[in-house]
Structure 1
Amino acid sequence: MEAGILWQTRSPTPSLPRQPRGCKIKYHSPAILAVLTRAPDNNMTGVTEKRKASNRTDKLAGLTKKTIYNDSWFAELAINYLSQQFQDATGLRNSKRGYESLAQTATDTWQKFSPIQQHGLVLQSLNRAIPRLILNMIKIMLPESTFKREYFAAFTTLFFAWLVGPSEVRESEFNGKKEKNVVHIKKCRFLEETNCVGMCTNLCKIPSQTFIKHSLGMPVDMVPNFDDMSCEMIFGQEPPVITEDPAFKQPCYKLCNNSSHPHISTCSCIFNSTICFGLMNKTNTSNLAADWPYVDQKNF
């Protein structure tokens, strides 16, 4: 009975031994013998490498992911009209509609004609698409000036998104002054659809530069960026000589849609052609129609 009472009244925590009065207990911090650290995670290196690889492939993923366009009725009308003019010039037909039809005609042209012929066929298509009277009026009534360069840049951005994709006007320095004469195409629709460097340079860059300069009186340098598929159109700036143009030294994409067609990173047939240099440098083109039947001489 006494043992039970003592057990119930006993403190659950053990009491310290009594110290003599006047004696203070001294507490000492324990000495640090070792520091325990977390064992290195062998997976962390792998995670870091994966992150780096992911960053490197982010740009590639953006290129392989195809842009979806919801073309308006005006865009569809313009695309089908240009595609029809291109088919009429080349004599090549296909049953596709919309931008796919335009891209298919471009692909067929690239596979069946030489680069020189490709330039001429595109020029012929553009001259068919726009009445000569309108071209002459623009060329005569709008001499090259700051207004014309900025007007061309703004007009291209507003009315040609259906052809090249979304774009914006950017500022550059021209003759020591700031001008809004540059069109930055964020991701070229034509290059994305065809996925071919050769088609970009031979079916877009060269003929477009030639057409805008000689038919509209405006020099323009088109500078494609094949890494991100963007492009810049610099109005008022003469393009470099083809032999020195970086665009013609670019190898084609590994996933090119025309891998079966032999590609050339530099068009040697163009370098030795007085026809092409005549078009780009306004030299004598009196024999152009005879040497190059795909171009109407009177347009130059």
Structure 2
Amino acid sequence: MAGSGYKDYFQVLGVDRSADATAIKKAFRSLARQYHPDVNPGDAQAEARFKEISEAYEVLSDPEKRRRYEQFGQYWNQAGGMGGGAAPGMDVDFGRYGNFDDFINDLLGRFGGPAGGGFQGGGFPGGGFPGGGFAGGGFPRGAKASRAPVNLDAEASVNVTFAEAFRGGERSLSVNNERVQVRIPAGVKNGSRLRLKGKGNLQPGTGRRGDLYLNLKVQEHPIWRLESDQLRADLPVSLDELALGGMVSVMTPDGDAQVSIPAGTAPGRSLRLKGKGWPSKTGRGDLLLTLTLAMPPSWSEEERRLLEQLRAKRTDHPRQEWLRSAAL
């Protein structure tokens, strides 16, 4: 910094000595835009002026440095301030910034101001991203500025249908104003997480970008239920199918199938179809069909006549054991 000779930093920035932090920052931004080396290529005087206003802003934007400057004048630096030399941040490579706003955001962050400060940058509107911006608070004595770790990762929720989760597929998503193709693996479950490398938030001025994590929400299905890697469903069957047994046609996630119901099967029994369940890295789970008695809304005269005959000829008493056990 200014190791010898007095510089009126208020005059350098063109502000009154009573100017507050907002006025000082506003003046610095205006002058920085005017004298930035990219705006004045090859102009040594503009570059020197740019360094001078940056030096002034570094001092006046820091409350402690400003206090020492106002108290000790040209000797503020020897009164416990930073070591001499060029203003920190002046040895930057201007070519690494995507645009002027990125540079200003970075510079404000180095000098202790909030990164972003009204400029837009990064992956989301307004330059916002999880973890905030650059490290602030000025520099350690005798050392150059360093950045605090910044978390640039982002998260989003994506709804997928039951069929998409079962079979997998491709999704086109809009991420930070760009279209991204996302592959959904077969067999994902509710709460599964997909990582899109390098599609998270962008840190202005550095080109660094985090990852995007997609939290999948699998929609419920009206028939199928997922339990671990097993698929379950209730299979409605008729009274005669339970009593007499036989082959019945069913629909599975893989298509039509034939299932054998043993004669005399009671409602509530589950039939297992091995290897027809949910996909996983180790294979397929099982498909379990729980038999439920489906009673018709009404009976025909012929059906009622046959049921009357069945009741007359039935030899089994369905509540005999129940009555014996229920007695107290």
TM-score by length of 2: 0.20
Q: Which has the higher strand share?
A: 2
Q: Which has the larger radius of gyration?
A: 2
Q: Quick one: higher RCO (CA 8 Å, sep 6+), 1 or 2?
A: 1
Q: TM-score, normalised by structure 1?
A: 0.21
